[in-house]
Structure 1
């Protein structure tokens, strides 16, 4: 019995959960917003940048003490897509390798919102390296003064900066983790539903002492699945909810 209990504790300890940290949405000046989110499970950063749809806009991030300081990492919208660049004395210079992957580019009213992702570390000396353990990041942003112009130019008062912008270090396990999956009704006769904000591929059922009972495969990697373990003896069972990168344990009672 002690061995089984120890084994089960080990299984519980091996659960892998995605952790995310974010600056939250920052408003630099009217009509210009940005956020950066870090995901430790995939070692990727996501930037969401919103600005006027009829001109260029840009965001700089990294570690700096003034505005558009040279040798800092910059992204900007050029009228077509988001460009990976480096701030130089004469303005941004496009990087030879474009490491940001645009996953969203939409317009609502007069505001364009672009979403893009890249690896924490790209191996490119021009790119800032995101470190998940960091609690702050310096950011600045600007947009062009002239409607209809996507040629980078002096931006006048259409700029602002946030030095030492906090990256929330206490987000921990977010709703987009299997750890927040819900099981209901509980207790039940053995028929219950598992609901999650993200997909899962299977549910492994164990007794309270760690003995394997059965696996329930989930069709089409669903996020809302009815599970039937009726016919089992009454008592407490443990569910291991699994997808490609995460797992979570839930306790259910069969009565």
Structure 2
């Protein structure tokens, strides 16, 4: 018996036939925000990259009970090299009213409505279940907030996208600053220059001035950039492009070791399958068993690694009344060896955004003064901004999550590629989104939290795939020669037979 559409709605399915593979590579999809995967995997046959190593099958016809045909016209086929795996990913929505729709014979019973969440726009009298539209129930918490970005121009309002609007007041300006740059102290400076908008001035001390409606500018050089982090270790880095020197302020507990690794968010620089051939990142570690030691290390994937030749100079080493140790050190931007990290900063290079440089880091602190297994760690990305120079801030649009999954408000293209945004279609923004794929989560009920799930037993049924195939033979060439004895002439004829897939019946 084919499963009725009123029992299980086959929204869509994806299936793959996959070949034997010499290598599996990971690729970033450029259009992943539009209902797609961010990362995908391709398997490559190294001896012949032209061989097709996977085929993808996807249908979204809804009512599978109609036994719709899925295939190719006569004489057409898909080529696939040595298939070894089949992978199936269905999206099925259980809509069966088990109380009122019993299967007593081979014919499916007439549809009887079941419960719907409050957000469903489909009435019970529609003749089908509103659950097939994936309404957003309150089981999935919806959260959204304004995001912000930095710009390069000192005239903030002219650079801000009018679609996102401008920062409205000093309170929002402070929120924007805190979302963009990490600081140990934010100081709000309010003025009366109405066209100046919101901006920040970061300082080498780790403090940030937040300017609202003031054109106050610092006179410091812009050949250096600064970034701060408070992930496990409080740190501020200043990169001086003119003198090719990095100044690093690190603060952590005086009774424990602490350190920061650069250029990675994991303990492996470049993971390849289950191997880490390049080892871990470069790190600066501070520990104080008997005397304070600041050392540079090349870490292992899951180990302490080895100490490197020192390229740092300690400027100061102090402990405050709260037991926090602050070490200020300098080192060249360019790494001393290939195992030392190189800070790639050129003050003559300009970009579209004021964040001229970003660096991934790992920060950790130990259990005691001896450098060993950590008792706390985290990772983040440092964003650098011009040191002691005004950087304007703008709104960057609303982003949010549904049930913990990111929802991108820039999913609808502008005209003429799409008219959804112009029409105010609710799928374009998280504020208006009422239902769809973003609210269909695996093994999650589509009913509201205060609604009892009336039928807890799972609905089990089978998908049946039938693949027809024949062995592939490539094009073949046959050569024949003829000669004439009278004038000693000869001719050569080459006949090419088409590949076998062009003769399918």
Give TM-score, length-normalised by structure 1: 0.53
2:16 corresponds to: none
2:3 corresponds to: none
- Residue by residue over 1:3-33, the C-alpha shift from the partner in whole angstroms, topping out at 9 and shown as x without a partner, is xxxxxxxxxxxxxx56210113x1113xx31
The answer to whether the 8 Å contact 1:50/1:114 transfers is yes
Aligned equivalents of 1:172, 1:77: Cα separation in 2:
28
Q: CA deviation at 1:124?
A: 1.0
Aligned equivalents of 1:74, 1:92: Cα separation in 2:
10
Aligned equivalents of 2:267, 2:327: Cα separation in 1:
22
Local SS of the residue matching 2:374? coil
2:231 corresponds to: 28
Q: Structure 1 unaligned runs (5+)?
A: 1-16, 175-255
Task: Give the ranges of 4+ consecutive aligned residues of structure 1 lying more than 6 Å apart after TM superposition.
Answer: none
The worse-fitting range, judged by mean Cα deviation, of 135-144 and 81-90 is 81-90
1:213 corresponds to: none
The answer to whether the 8 Å contact 2:247/2:328 transfers is yes
Aligned equivalents of 1:21, 1:129: Cα separation in 2:
15
- Residue by residue over 1:99-128, the C-alpha shift from the partner in whole angstroms, topping out at 9 and shown as x without a partner, is 011101000021000011011114311111
Aligned equivalents of 2:316, 2:268: Cα separation in 1:
25
Q: CA deviation at 1:67?
A: 4.8
- Residue by residue over 1:22-80, the C-alpha shift from the partner in whole angstroms, topping out at 9 and shown as x without a partner, is 113x1113xx3112110011100111111000121111112x24257533110111211
Aligned equivalents of 1:65, 1:81: Cα separation in 2:
24
Local SS of the residue matching 2:243? coil
Q: 1:37 aligns with which of 208, 213, 238?
A: 238
Aligned equivalents of 1:35, 1:91: Cα separation in 2:
24
- Residue by residue over 1:189-230, the C-alpha shift from the partner in whole angstroms, topping out at 9 and shown as x without a partner, is xxxxxxxxxxxxxxxxxxxxxxxxxxxxxxxxxxxxxxxxxx
1:87 aligns with 2:299: yes
1:71 aligns with 2:290: no
The answer to whether the 8 Å contact 1:59/1:140 transfers is yes
Local SS of the residue matching 1:116? strand
Give TM-score, length-normalised by structure 2: 0.28
The structure number with the bigger radius of gyration is 2
Q: Relative to 1, partners in 2 of residues 1:54 and 1:172: Cα closer, same or farther, differing over 3 Å?
A: closer
Q: Relative to 1, partners in 2 of residues 1:155 and 1:72: Cα closer, same or farther, differing over 3 Å?
A: same
2:369 corresponds to: 150
1:132 corresponds to: 345
Aligned equivalents of 1:68, 1:52: Cα separation in 2:
26
1:165 aligns with 2:379: no
Question: Following superposition of structure 1 onto structure 2, how do residues 235-246 of structure 1 map, counting pairs within 5 Å?
Answer: none
The answer to whether the 8 Å contact 1:18/1:39 transfers is no
Aligned equivalents of 1:101, 1:166: Cα separation in 2:
24
Local SS of the residue matching 1:28? coil
1:98 aligns with 2:306: no
2:473 corresponds to: none
Aligned equivalents of 1:33, 1:65: Cα separation in 2:
17
Aligned equivalents of 1:107, 1:172: Cα separation in 2:
27
Aligned equivalents of 2:388, 2:267: Cα separation in 1:
31
The answer to whether the 8 Å contact 2:267/2:280 transfers is no
Q: Structure 2 unaligned runs (5+)?
A: 1-220, 270-278, 347-355, 391-505
Q: 2:257 aligns with which of 56, 63, 79?
A: 56
1:193 corresponds to: none
